Chains A and B, each alone.
Chain A
Amino acid sequence: MSLVFLVPLFLIGFAGVVVPIAVHLTRRQRRNVVYFPSLMFLEKIPYQERRRRRIQHWFLLSLRALALALVAAAFARPFLDQSSGAALGSAGPREIVVLLDRSYSMEIGDQIEQARSQAETILSDLGPLDRASLVTFARGAEVVARSTSDRARLRGALDTVTVSSGATRFGPALKVAQTILEESTLARGEVYLLSDFQRNGWTGDEGVRLPPGSSLIPIEVGGEDTIDNLMVSDVTLPRQIVAGRERITPTARVVRRGGEAPRTASVSLELDGQEIQTVDIELAPNDAQPVSFQAFTLSQPHTTGTVRLDDDALSADDSHHFVLSPGTALSVLIVDGAGGSSDPSLYLRGALGISDDGRFDVRSRRSSTVRPVDLEGAAAVFINDVQLDGGSAERIRSFVEDGGGVLVALGQDSGWPASAADMLPGTPGAMQDRLQGRGGRLGYLDYEHPVFEVFSGPRSGDFTGARFYRARAFAPSDSAAVLARFDDGSVALAELRLGRGRVLVWTTSLDSFWNDLALQPVYLPFVHRLAEYLGGRGEALPWFVAGQVVDVADPEALETAGLVSSEAAGLVEGLDQVALSPMGGNLALPAVDGPRYLPLEEHGFYTVRQPGTDPDRPFVIAVNVDLEESNLGRVEPDELALQIEAPAIVDDGSPRLTQAVELQREDQERRQSLWRWLLAAALALFALETVISNWVSRRATGAAGVVTG
C-alpha cells in the first residue's frame, strides 16, 4: 500500500511554499520602510545583512507553508494505492474466504466430499497470521466461521457441511466474501470458490466486485455437465366430482437430460407414504414424456403424494411431492324476485351448477327479504333483480362487513332501500335503452382486476360478442371502482369495499332479457369468477419450492398452502406450533404477535402441529427442489472470476489497460477522499495562523516614522 497522487501535476503547487517566505521577506521590507533623516550613524554600525533579513516567526512561517503544501496535496488528490501494494506484496498475512457450494447438484458423485477435501487443503495451508472464513451457499449464503485463525474451529465447521435442497446462486456468497474482505485489515485477500459452477447460478448482474488486492480462485469439483439425469419436472392434479366425491387423476411429466441410448424408467405414485402404482416408460436421450396414473379418490385432508423415479446420480429431482385436500364448495346464495313468472336466475344458477369439481353450493331464495338464516354459511350472495326491504339490506351490510361478498344485479324490478344507499358503489338511475343498431357492447374491462384477470390473455374469453340492449344508469360514487363500462361510457360493473367484504353492482340483467351475455361462452367463466371473487376463494398450492418461506400466522398464506384440516386450526389461533422438517429436524414456531415464518429449506414434507400432539391428519406442506439446478450446464470459472475480481494491474501500455488502471485509481481515490481531510486541515491551519499572527502583530506594535512636507 503506497501513497499515490491521482493528479501529480498539482504538486507543482508545493512551490507555493516559498510564497510565504518571499512575502515574509519582500513584503515585510516594502511595508515597513521608515524614512529617516540621515543614515550617517546607522551606516557606521557594523551589521550583517543576513541577520537583518532573519525570519523572526518561524512557527508562523511553517504554518503558512504547511497549509499551502496541504492545499497543493489536496488538489493532487492523494490516495493509498491498495492494488499496487497487493501486486507488489506476495508476502504478508492473508484474509481467506472459502465459499463452499452445497446446492443439491453437489450430491452428484462425491462432489461435496471433493469440495470438503479441497477446503481442508486450503485451510491446512494457512499461515500463522492468516485468517480464514468459511461460507456455505446454495440459494443463500451462510457464514459458518468468520475471519478466524482457529483451524480447529474451521475444520469443525467444515465437517458440518451437508448438501442442501437449494439451487446454486453465486451472488449472495460472493457478496458475503466481498464484505468480509472489505472489513478486513489484512492487505491480501483470497476467495476460494468451490463449486460445480452451474450456469444458472450466475447471471452476471449481481453487482459483486471484490476489493482491490483480492483475488478469486475458482476450484471446480466434479465438472460433469453431461450426466444422464432423469427428473420429474411437473405433476398436474385435475379434480373431478364423481358420485359426490373428488377424484384426482395425477399426470407427471418425466424429463431425461443427457444420456446416449434409450432407457427404461419406473415412475411410481405414492399416497400417504404408500406406493399406489408404478409405470414403466422408455425415454430417449433428452426426451420428455407424460405419465398418467390411475385416478384416486381424495377423501382425507392433507393427503401427501409423491411421484418418484428410480434414484440416479442426481436424486433430489427424482421425486416430486404434493399435498391435496378435498375441496370445499363455495356456498352461493341467489336472491331474486318472488312475483315474476319468469326466472331471472335461470342462467346464473345453471352456470354456477356447471363445474367438474362441484366448487359451488348454490341456494336460491325467491323473496324480497333475506333472513339471517339464509346468510349462514354463505360466502357470496347474488341479489338478482329484486327490491329488498330495509331490514334485509342491513343484514346484507353486516354480512359484507364480516367479509362476505354481494353482487347486485339491477334489472327491471330491482331497487335498493334509501337507508342503505351507502352500501352501493353509486346511485342507480333510470333504464336506458340501446336499441339503435345492434345494441351496446362492453367497451372497457379492468383486466387488472381479479374478476377479469383470467380473461386478459388472447383467446381467454370474448366479451365483445355480447349485445346489451338495456341497462340501468349508474352514477358511481367517489370511493367506487368501475370495473367495466359499456361502449357509450356508462357503467357496467362497479365495486365498493365495505368492511372486510365487497359489493359489486351489475347494471344490467344476468339473464337474456336485457342482453345476450348469458348466451355467450364467456358467461360461465365470468359468473364463476364473480362468485369466486365474492367468496374470496384462493387457489391452494399443492407444493412449494425449496427456499420459499411461509408465514404460518397469516390465514391467507395458510389457505394458499392448503390448510383445511380442523385439527391444524390452532395455527391461525395463535397457539405454539412445531414444524418437523423432511430431514427430521424440529423448528419451533412459538406463538408471538406478528408473523411466524417457516423457511422451507429442505425438499419433502414439512409437518406442522402443536407440540405434544399427534393429530391424524396434521397440516403438511410439500416442498420440491428448484429444477433449475437440474440443468448442469457450466459457467466457465475463469470467466466468472474475471467478472468480479478487481484485476491485477500490469501496465503494458495498451490504451484499454491504461484506461482501466486510471479508472481503478480514480475509484480508489473517490472512495478514500483523502483530499477532504487535507483541505480541512489546511483551513484549520490557516485559521490558526490568522489567530496567531494577529496576536503577534498586536504584541509587536512597531513604531514607524512619518514623513510630511
Chain B
Amino acid sequence: MATTRPRHSAAGTQFLDPAVLGRIGNLELLARTVVDGFLTGLHRSPYLGFSMDFAEHRPYMPGDDIRRIDWKLFARSDRHYIKLFEADTNANFSVLLDLSASMSYGSHSLTKLDYARYLAACLTYFSNKQRDRVGLVTFDHEVVDYVPPSMKHLDTILHTLDRAKAGRPGSLAEPILKITEMLGRKGILVVISDFYEEPDAVLSALGPLRARGHDVIVFHVMDPYELEFPFQEASGFEDLETGEQIPVIPGKLRADYLAMMNAHLAALERSFTDHRIDYRLLDTSKPLDTALFEYLLARERMSKTR
C-alpha cells in the first residue's frame, strides 16, 4: 500500500485523529479547528496571495521566505519582519465530491464520505481564507448539488456538505462532463472520490477538466480495509452500489485482491501523473494533514507556474 505520509511533514503538524473529528458535528467548527491548527504548527507561511495591499508586519519566523522580509524595516529597527498583504481573490476553488454508495463504507467510526466531507470542508475553508471563490459539486451518477464558486458561498457549501448522503450508484463520466460545462472559468478543482472505475475510464472522465485549463487535484479516499483486506471469516460480500452478493473466503482471495488493488492504484497514479494531475491516495484512518499539505504544495506549484 502506498504510504500516506506527506513528504513535507513537519514536527508538530499532526492533527486531530479522524475518529475524534467525527465527534464534531459542526463542519465549520471542524474546518476551523483543523485549518487553524494546521496553520499554527506550520513553519512556512501558507498564505501565498498576490495582492499588494499591505496588511501588517509580523516577526520573521524560521522557514519564512526571506524574500518577504521587509528590509527597510530591518534597516530601521535591526529586526527581521515579514510584510503581510491582504490576499485578493485570485482563483475559483471547487470541490467535486463523489456521493456514490461505495463512499458510505467505513471499517471504523468514520466512513469514506465523512472523511471526504471533512476534507472538502477544510479545503474550502482554507481556500476561502485565501480569498478564493469557493464552490462545490456533489455527484454520483449525476450531479446532485452544485454550489457555484463565490466568496460568499462558504456557509452554503458547508451546509451542503453537512447534508450530503451517499446512497446511489456512481459513475464519473456523465457528471464530470456536466461539471466541465458548468465550470466556465478556470480554477482549482479538487476531486474527492474512491474511483471504483477502470483507470482509463477515470482518466477519460477527468481529462476534459484538465483540458479546459483547470488545475485538478485528485484525492483518492480509501478505507484501510479496502487497502489491506484483513477479513478472515468466509462471508457473503455485498456490493454497496449494485447489491450483488458473492460468497468469499478472504484467506483464499486476499493475495489476488491486494495485487489487483495495488495494480489499480498504481495505474491511477501513473495515469494522473502523465496528465499532470496531482494525485494523492488518502487512508481514512490517517489524519487530514496529508491532504492539506498536498493542497498547499499544489497551490505553491501553481503559483510558481503562473
**Cβ of A49 under 8 Å from chain B:** yes
* A520 partner residues in chain B, CB cutoff 8 A: none
Which of A30, A35, A39 lies in contact with B246, CB distance below 8 A?
Answer: A39
* A33 partner residues in chain B, CB cutoff 8 A: 235-238, 245
Which of B102, B239, B242, B252 lies in contact with A51, CB distance below 8 A?
Answer: B252
B257 touches A43 (CB 8 A): no
Closest CB in chain B relative to A29 CB, distance in Å:
5
**Cβ of A691 under 8 Å from chain B:** no
Which of B106, B236, B247, B252 lies in contact with A708, CB distance below 8 A?
Answer: B106
**Cβ of B274 under 8 Å from chain A:** no
B236 touches A37 (CB 8 A): no
Within 8 A of B (CB), among A29-64: 29-30, 32-45, 47, 49, 51-53, 56
* A88 partner residues in chain B, CB cutoff 8 A: none
A37 touches B112 (CB 8 A): yes
Chain B residue with the shortest CB-CB distance to A44: B260
Most chain A CB neighbours (cut-off 10 Å) among B107, B112, B239, B252? B239
**Cβ of A700 under 8 Å from chain B:** yes
Within 8 A of A (CB), among B218-237: 223, 225-226, 230-237
Which of B234, B245, B253 lies in contact with A45, CB distance below 8 A?
Answer: B253
* B112 partner residues in chain A, CB cutoff 8 A: 37
**Cβ of B145 under 8 Å from chain A:** no
**Cβ of A707 under 8 Å from chain B:** yes
* A39 partner residues in chain B, CB cutoff 8 A: 237, 239, 242, 244, 246
Q: Given that A29-B236, A51-B252 are known contacts, is A38 also in contact with B247, CB under 8 Å in the complex?
A: no
Total number of B residues with any Cβ neighbor in A under 8 Å: 44
Which of A29, A41, A707 lies in contact with B257, CB distance below 8 A?
Answer: A41
B104 touches A36 (CB 8 A): no
A40 touches B196 (CB 8 A): yes
Q: Given that A49-B247, A709-B111 are known contacts, is A32 also in contact with B253, CB under 8 Å in the complex?
A: no
Total number of A residues with any Cβ neighbor in B under 8 Å: 33
**Cβ of B86 under 8 Å from chain A:** no
Inter-chain residue pair count (beta carbon < 8 A): 119
The proximity string for A residues 510-524 relative to B, scoring 1 for CB distances below 8 Å and 0 otherwise, is 000000000000000
Which of B104, B236, B241 lies in contact with A709, CB distance below 8 A?
Answer: B104
**Cβ of B256 under 8 Å from chain A:** yes
Q: Is the interface of A mostly helix, strand, loop or mixed?
A: loop
Q: Given that A34-B231, A702-B233 are known contacts, is A29 also in contact with B238, CB under 8 Å in the complex?
A: no
* B235 partner residues in chain A, CB cutoff 8 A: 29, 32-34, 702, 704
A51 touches B165 (CB 8 A): no
| Distance, CA A703 to CA B254, complexed state (A) | 13
Closest CB in chain B relative to A270 CB, distance in Å:
106
A52 touches B244 (CB 8 A): no
* B102 partner residues in chain A, CB cutoff 8 A: 37-38
**Cβ of A705 under 8 Å from chain B:** yes
Closest CB in chain A relative to B119 CB, distance in Å:
16
A708 touches B111 (CB 8 A): yes
* B231 partner residues in chain A, CB cutoff 8 A: 34, 702-705
A35 touches B238 (CB 8 A): yes
20 extra interface residue pairs, beta carbon distance < 8 Å, beyond A42-B246, A51-B249: A28-B234, A32-B233, A33-B236, A34-B236, A34-B237, A36-B226, A37-B102, A37-B112, A37-B241, A39-B237, A39-B239, A41-B260, A42-B237, A45-B253, A47-B252, A701-B232, A705-B107, A708-B111, A709-B113, A709-B165
Q: Which residues of B contact A (CB under 8 A)?
A: 102-108, 111-114, 165-166, 194, 196, 223, 225-226, 230-242, 244-249, 252-253, 256-257, 260-261, 264
Instruction: Identify the 9 closest CB pairs spanning chains A and B, nearest first.
Output: A702-B233, A37-B102, A32-B235, A52-B247, A38-B196, A37-B105, A41-B260, A39-B239, A34-B235
Q: What are 21 sample pairs from A and B whose C-beta atoms fall under 8 A apart?
A: A29-B235, A32-B236, A34-B231, A34-B238, A36-B238, A37-B103, A37-B239, A37-B240, A39-B244, A43-B244, A47-B253, A51-B249, A702-B233, A703-B230, A704-B231, A704-B233, A705-B107, A706-B108, A707-B240, A708-B106, A709-B165
